[in-house]
Amino acid sequence: MSDKELRNKSDKQSIDQFIHQVRNMPKQGGGPGRLIFALDATASRGATWDQACHLQSELFLATRDLGGLVIQLCYYRGFGEFKATEFVGETGQLLNLMNGVSCLGGRTQISRVLAHARKETRAKTVKAVVFIGDCCEEAVDELCHIAGELGMLRTPVFMFQEGADAHARAVFQQVSKLSGGAYAPFDRNSPQMLKDLMAAVAVYASGGAKALQDYSSGSSPEVKRLTQQIR
């Protein structure tokens, strides 16, 4: 078996595991789901930021028949810069917000993302947090502590890792587990993989675990194949 085949097999197993985790999470209540979409906007993330801008419409399209979804964009970059937008309910609004951001070099600020999510969900329930990043340069214990608090608040964090940094993988897996969320790696050269992951969490945030299974009936072949794996 070639290296490429091994990587593809590994990616498939990771996606299968992620979808299984999402499927078995507790069903969410009705009404529009509030989702925080958080991204690392440091220098190494430029290419994937552009990709995420292109794919973000999937977050709304996947949930249009499930009672709606409102999304808040969060990002960090540069020297201690952290931003959180208002919650928006249309893909054009989110795209405009994302297009107004450029990536700048700096250290990771994942703890600020998690602390912000904790504050938001204490004010009004946040159904899920999506984080996309490639590394972690922070104290693991602090991240895990806040992730555990989010788990107690029933706000799961879905950690999507670009690349194969072993330390980031270990941290992202712990954060997702403690919060009650899920972890999955992706390859920036496989935009379909990121698209499926984003859509899956959007469906969960809007309609719960059962909605994720029902979602496949009128969706793409890729989504159907993913859903078949959890039946």
What DSSP letter does each residue of 141-207 carry, written as one string? Answer: HHHHHHHHHHHHTT--EEEEEES--HHHHHHHHHHHHHHT-EEEEE-TT-HHHHHHHHHHHHHHHHH
Residue written as tokens 């214990």?
Answer: 141
Name the residue with tokens 């806040």.
Answer: 146
Which residue intervals of the chain are DSSP H helices?
A: 3-23, 46-55, 57-61, 91-99, 110-123, 140-152, 166-179, 191-207, 209-214, 221-228
Q: What is the pLDDT of residue 20?
A: 63
**CB-based contact 92:67 (threshold 8 Å):** no
Which tens digits make up the pLDDT trace of 123-140? 999 999 999 898 999 999
Say how far apart CA 34 and CA 192 lie, in whole Å.
24
Q: What is the pLDDT of residues 145-202, one digit of tens each?
A: 999 999 999 998 988 888 889 999 999 999 988 998 888 887 766 677 777 777 777 8
Nearest to 181 by CA among 219, 222, 153, 162: 153
In this prediction, residue 221 carries a pLDDT of: 53
- Separation between Cα atoms, residue 211 and residue 224, nearest integer Å: 13
Pairing status of strand 81-88 against strand 69-77: antiparallel
**Using N-to-C axis directions, what is the helix angle for 110-123 and 140-152, rounded to 10°?**
20
Q: Is the pLDDT of residue 226 over 60?
A: no
Asked if CATH classification 3.90.850.10 holds for the domain at 31-228, the reply, yes or no, is no
Q: What is the pLDDT of residue 229?
A: 39
3-state secondary structure (DSSP) of residue 73: strand
112-137 core/surface letters (b: 16 or more CB in 10 A; e: else)? bbbbbbbebbeeeebbbbbbbbbbbe
Residue 157 and residue 179 in contact, taking contact as beta carbons nearer than 8 Å: yes
Percent of the chain with pLDDT over 90: 26
Q: What is the pLDDT of residue 147?
A: 96
Q: 158 φ, ψ to 5°?
A: -105, 110
| 219 within 8 A of 200, measured Cβ to Cβ | no
